[in-house]
Chains A and B, each alone.
Chain A
Amino acid sequence: KNEVEQSPQNLTAQEGEFITINCSYSVGISALHWLQQHPGGGIVSLFMLSSGKKKHGRLIATINIQEKHSSLHITASHPRDSAVYICAVRAWGAQKLVFGQGTRLTINP
């Protein structure tokens, strides 16, 4: 079992729909990161969080430390949101990240 599990692996939705991507992890962490990777593109950090909730535009990230679970939400989804979203965690005392396998999101117009 991987230390970081994401679901779903693939998600296709229509423009305007509310999107949720989930991430579960099995170790104690100091931080969780959500990353975005467009096709053929680089990797961009969306959020880094250790508790609670963060919001940036139409994107919202939440984390429940007790449940070892995080969600990434996209409101009013748009085709430009189509990308792979990657969850990564930093274990306590570590500097390196452990990655989930990614969720491929496709938003159709």
Chain B
Amino acid sequence: DAGVIQSPRHEVTEMGQEVTLRCKPISGHDYLFWYRQTMMRGLELLIYFNNNVPIDDSGMPEDRFSAKMPNASFSTLKIQPSEPRDSAVYFCASSLRGPYEQYFGPGTRLTVT
């Protein structure tokens, strides 16, 4: 298996623009997680899905952030409008149900100028 795939790997955009990050989980995994990593706050959970259904979005910072999982093999995290404080590395991870490891994607480094 190719592992968790994220695109793009790097994104530079101007404040106010819409940004869409993409994730393809490992085939057969039930859970998909979106994380944000910054120097100040470390790794934070934004939202996670179980069988394509959002379970906990309490970490989504504000209404500018939205996430979807239209099918078992694809998820998006959208920021509209983007702001400089959204600059971070965004990771997607997937896992099987239960006490299993989470497998992380390579991350998307987002820079909002």
Contacts and interface: CB of A to CB of B under 8 A. Distances in A.
The answer to whether A and B interact is: yes
Interface of A: 30-31, 33, 35, 41-45, 48, 50, 86, 88, 90, 95-102
Given A42-B107, A43-B91, A97 B42 contact: no
A95 B50 contact: yes
Majority secondary structure, B binding face: strand
Interface string B35-55: 000000011110010100001
A82 B95 CA distance: 27
Interface residues of B, number: 23
B99 A44 contact: no
Nearest to B97: A95
Nearest to A90: B99
A65 to B, nearest CB: 14
Contacts of B42: 86, 99-102
The 7 A-B pairs of least Cβ separation, nearest first, read A43-B104, A99-B43, A45-B101, A42-B106, A31-B99, A101-B42, A48-B101
B33 A96 contact: yes
B102 interface: yes
A47 B51 CA distance: 25
B99 A48 contact: yes
Contacts of A88: 43
A97 B45 contact: yes
B65 interface: no
27 contacts: A30-B99, A31-B99, A33-B102, A41-B106, A42-B91, A42-B104, A42-B105, A43-B104, A44-B104, A45-B103, A48-B99, A48-B101, A50-B99, A86-B43, A88-B43, A90-B99, A95-B48, A95-B50, A95-B95, A96-B33, A96-B48, A97-B45, A97-B102, A99-B43, A99-B44, A100-B42, A101-B42
